[in-house]
Amino acid sequence: MNVRLIPSSLLLVGLLSGCHGTSAPPVAGAETTVQQRQQTESQRMELEMIPPPSKTRYLSVHSLEAWENPYLTVQADMVTMHVMVADANPTTYGVGGLMRPTNARREDLNIAPEKLGEALRSIPHSAWPYGRVVAVEEAHKIPASGRPQVRRTMETTMKTLGELGIVVYEWNDSGAIGR
């Protein structure tokens, strides 16, 4: 058995100077993943300024036309975000009438699924009267060949909403089914 002794001064210098050997090459996409996580965390923190959802308010809604919070329609390659902008007039006089129609305050925006967090963050807090909850529905009249892609987009959407701390209220043709 051949044991080689290293002088203690050399060992100490080696420990203090650190290891300068070859390091593993950076993993491709790791930096992007870190940036995505930081972006998601930033969006989540901003959305946490919206109060938690109030079940007593949103569970009593039985149609998307009456839904006041943002809701999403998921399609194969995009998500349509429907937003009801808060009425600027605080009085109840004429609400829903000819001079103040409710549908005039509704905005529909088509967005890419990867931009969902950014889009939700840009919605004014006054457009979330039920708190941090979003109704989600699949697009209607989807051909059989497009259903798998819609389902994948739906799963991506649900995952994004979960990461952002937003409660998902799944909607189907017969009304809300909740989650």
Q: What digits encode the pLDDT tens for the residues 102-116?
A: 666 678 899 999 999
| Strand 175-176 with 167-172, pairing | antiparallel
To the nearest whole percent, how much of the chain has pLDDT over 90? 42
Which H helix or E strand runs over 80? strand 79-84
Q: How confident is the model at residue 137 (pLDDT cuts 50, 70, 90)?
A: very high
Q: Where are the domains of the chain?
A: 51-176
Q: How far is CA 84 from CA 19, 53, 64, 158, 177, in A?
A: 59, 17, 11, 21, 21
**DSSP helix/strand/coil, 111:** strand
Q: Is the pTM of this model over 0.75?
A: no
**How many Å is the maximal CA-CA distance in the chain?**
98
Rounded CA separation 157/152 (Å): 9
Task: Kindly indicate whether the domain formed by 51-176 is annotated with CATH number 3.30.420.
Answer: yes
Distance of CA 64 to the CA centre of its chain: 20
pLDDT > 90? residue 21? no
Given this model, what pLDDT does residue 130 score?
A: 94
